[in-house]
């Protein structure tokens, strides 16, 4: 099961409902927003983890951060959640311009207000990081050995990108390409 399915499914429904209430979105709108934002965030993580320094930084953050607190729906409304999420976005996208571009593309895909999606994006990034942290902390129990020689996020990042949008809507693929293009253009400056 990919992370989008997890956030939309039974495990994430409390958080999804909380976010919907917090941002004034019904279940359908919240599902649409997550289906647009999660693949873009996943692409940012994939891009960041594709180099050793980015992967090391991500693993350190997952191992030492307090990200699993965002699995608790009540934590999502706290101002520090958005602040932490903005820090996460800064690491994975490297530029506020990319975050703005992601929100704009998600708005075009969903019909939701880009300003609302800009405010939602860091909270969703914190939720994704929480799920990744949960996965990494469970990895040793699942038989992941030799963290120095292996990328314990390899399978997780693949599952993050798997399926693109909810229900297999092919919209995620083009968004991933657009995010990759944004990342490439902005990092080339």
Q: What distance separates the 2 farthest-apart alpha carbons in the chain?
A: 45
pLDDT in tens, 59-84: 777 777 688 888 888 888 999 999 99
pLDDT tier, 142 (very low <50, low <70, confident <90, very high otherwise): very low
Q: How high is the pLDDT of residue 121?
A: 96
pLDDT(171) > 50:
no
Q: Are 97 and 20 in contact (CB under 8 A)?
A: no
Percent of the chain with pLDDT over 70: 66
- Which pTM was predicted? 0.77
């Amino acid at each position: 099961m990919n992370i989008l399915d997890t956030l939309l499914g039974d495990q994430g429904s409390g958080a999804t409902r909380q976010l919907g209430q917090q941002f004034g979105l019904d279940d359908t709108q919240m599902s649409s927003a997550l289906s647009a934002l999660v693949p873009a965030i996943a692409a940012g993580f994939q891009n960041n983890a594709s180099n050793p320094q980015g992967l090391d930084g991500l693993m350190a953050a997952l191992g030492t951060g307090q990200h699993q607190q965002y699995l608790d729906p009540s934590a999502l409304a706290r101002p520090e959640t958005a602040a932490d999420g903005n820090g996460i976005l800064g690491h994975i996208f490297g530029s506020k311009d990319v975050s703005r571009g992601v929100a704009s593309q998600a708005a075009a895909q969903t019909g939701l207000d880009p300003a609302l999606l800009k405010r939602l994006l860091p909270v969703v990034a914190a939720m994704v990081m929480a799920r990744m942290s949960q996965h990494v902390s469970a990895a040793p129990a699942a038989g992941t050995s030799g963290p120095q020689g292996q990328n314990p996020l390899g399978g997780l990042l693949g599952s993050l990108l798997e399926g693109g949008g909810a229900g297999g809507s092919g919209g995620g693929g083009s968004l991933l390409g657009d995010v990759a293009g944004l990342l490439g253009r902005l990092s080339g400056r």
